[in-house]
Amino acid sequence: MSVRVRRVYEPPEPADGVRVLVDRLWPRGLSKEAARVDEWPKALTPSTELRRWYHAGEGSYEEFAERYEAELADPEAVELLDQVRELAHKGDVTLLTASKTPEQSHATVLVRMLES
């Protein structure tokens, strides 16, 4: 299984495979043609409340990750995780995020959940 994380603003590469946007909001200033997003499972993204809490600097990344994992236990999110996991078993999958620090974002949590 091959799952990687990239910023959605980086140009698409052939090695990306299936490109999955994992942000709830569409990235500012980026056209759909330029983004070349194949899937956009919004139910896999952190809730608006959790996203705002984390961006306000009220908690640590570890606490954010723990809360996000709890959200991913929702049946709809579990189903979408299984769908993305199935895509990864068939070929390369790239999770796309607008986060300036993808290694400290929800995308890293998703990779861990997909690989478990």
Q: What is the pLDDT of residues 57-108, one digit of tens each?
A: 888 999 999 999 999 999 999 999 999 999 999 999 999 999 999 888 999 9
SS3 assignment, position 75: helix
Q: Distance between CA 42 and CA 92 in Å, rounded?
A: 20
CA atoms within 13 A on the CB side of 44: 26
Residue ranges covered by each domain of the chain: 2-27+35-115
* Nearest one of 93, 91, 1, 113 to 46, comparing CA atoms: 113
Q: Any idea how long the chain is?
A: 116
* Confidence (pTM): 0.93
